Structure 1
């Protein structure tokens, strides 16, 4: 059960790279100083504000190293699950040792994107999937040290 839940969570985390994570309002400053009539109009209908939906896949640029770092935040859980299943849990104990740290770094990194924005369904899916995955890897971490004691 735990193994299946961990794999499903890792797949959902990877899929969130392509889903809309958040939305925010973007203010576009006018080209010139607005007249009093234009200022009144802006106050009434907020014509210079627009909503921007944020998807990581749209912001990905293969020539920038930062894009690859962000992509790795979405891919490492699935890579870890696959390595554990292929090599066996006992042979890759080092994964269990570093996974909680990577989980915390990932949660911190992605939540920085959600600050001051409205979270969309991709963001909620990511939060739930990453929380489940992190809880499972923390339990594995605790179990590893329980066996040694």
Structure 2
């Protein structure tokens, strides 16, 4: 499908997917920090079930894709669109590409798979340490 798009539209869509990917990454990373911080500070919203399920689901998807040896589907879509726009796409997962570029380390995918699985286990532990709960209705 990406090959049937004009190069400018493909590039625009690739940039939109990159923005969406950054939002998902920020949601995942900030959740790892804000859930325990919010529990300590007494912030009720960190225990909202819908938010916690979305966080667990997003990180579960990341871990499952890594265990299966697959790049994130957002990375694949962006890479395909970049190629359709005549640009060089990613040959590795987005985070691995960034780490490679920032630190100049050529780390194997197994490192990132282990990292994603450890993060997923941490999120599961957060369900035990900071269990989600519904807000109690205000008394009448």
The structure with the larger Rg is: 1
Q: In proportion to residue count, which structure has more strand?
A: 1
Under a length normalisation based on structure 2, what TM-score does the superposition of the two structures give? 0.36
Under a length normalisation based on structure 1, what TM-score does the superposition of the two structures give? 0.34
Name which structure has the greater RCO, CA cutoff 8 Å, separation 6+. 1
